[in-house]
Amino acid sequence: MSKREQGFTLIELMIVVAIIAIIASIAIPNLLSARLNANESAAIATLKNISSAQSQCQASGIIDTNNNGAGEYGFFGELSGRTNVRGGTQRISPPVLSTAFGNIANSQVTRSGYIFQMYLPDLTAGGIAEDATGGYTGAAVDGAQAETLWCCYAWPAVQGNSGKRSFFVNQGGDVLATNHNGGTAYNGTTTPPLFNAAFANTASAFMSSPVAANTLAQDNLIWTVVN
């Protein structure tokens, strides 16, 4: 009497493969969606932390380029303690923002699938980005305007993969978001938002303009307040 061979039949293997494929088709999209949601939530939380850091920086008066006794807002390099403050030889110590924001490339910081960029105002409240590797050594940032104005954007490093929505915050403290809705999809270093993208679509396009809270913005998108 021959001994029965052990193992799986081809049909059994095909059934197992089909079951795995069905499970993967359900699980993978859910995992990707969860990652997108996690990255977006992290970006919102980070912008709120940046807002708090800016408030601390301005209140401390450590940046005062016009020497009038009123503190000014800072760039990532300054807030993270990586660079000297504008017009001075000292650094913010301890830093008011995570030192991870000292890792600046092309004036931007990448964290958890999102790119962050800070803007401070010039004399006419136009947006000035910090130096490529952090901080600021130029003369365009206006001290008086920087006492009251700043803004920061966060957008996906890879649109649709690391995130979908883009976010914005300024001295007002409200975080705004856009889902693009067929408009410009901000994406990595190739398609970043301009400094005035989230401001109201009016004749003036400056950092002193109202933000586009639930209205049409300069980039022709609707930015809504994140609750």
Q: Is 2 part of any domain? A: no
What is the Cα–Cα distance from 218 to 201, expressed in whole angstroms? Answer: 4
CB 180 within 8 A of CB 150: no
Q: Which two tokens stand for residue 49?
A: 């932390």
Looking at the chain, which runs of residues are DSSP E strands? 108-111, 114-121, 127-129, 151-156, 166-170, 176-178, 215-216, 222-225
What is the Cα–Cα distance from 54 to 48, expressed in whole angstroms? Answer: 10
Note the pLDDT tens digit of each residue in 56-66.
Answer: 999 999 999 99
Q: Is 1 part of any domain? A: no
What is the Cα–Cα distance from 214 to 141, expressed in whole angstroms? Answer: 29
- Give the number of C-alpha atoms closer than 13 A to the C-alpha of residue 94, restricted to the C-beta side: 3
When comparing pLDDT for 222 and 3, which is higher? 222
Q: Which of 218, 215, 214 is nearest to 205 (CA)?
A: 218
Q: What is the mean pLDDT of residues 91-108?
A: 97
Q: Is 206 part of any domain? A: yes
Overall domain count for the chain:
1
What single letter denotes the amino acid at residue 145?
Answer: Q
- Checking if the pLDDT of 145 tops 70, the result is yes
- The pLDDT value given to residue 1: 47
Q: Which two tokens stand for residue 38?
A: 């996690």
pTM reported for the whole predicted model? 0.86
Note the pLDDT tens digit of each residue in 43-81.
Answer: 999 999 999 999 999 999 999 999 999 999 999 999 999
Q: Is 75 part of any domain? A: yes
- The pLDDT value given to residue 223: 93
Beta bridge partners of 140: none
Structural domain that includes position 131? 12-225
- Checking if the pLDDT of 34 tops 90, the result is no
The helix/strand/coil state of 52 is helix
Average pLDDT over the chain reads 90
What is the Cα–Cα distance from 155 to 162, expressed in whole angstroms? Answer: 9
User: Hey, which of 9-13, 27-31, 49-53, 219-223 has the most confident mean pLDDT?
Assistant: 49-53
Q: Is 136 part of any domain? A: yes
Whether the CA torsion 28, 34, 37, 39 is positive or negative: it is negative
Q: Which two tokens stand for residue 10?
A: 């081809």
Q: What is the mean pLDDT of residues 116-140?
A: 96
Q: Is 138 part of any domain? A: yes
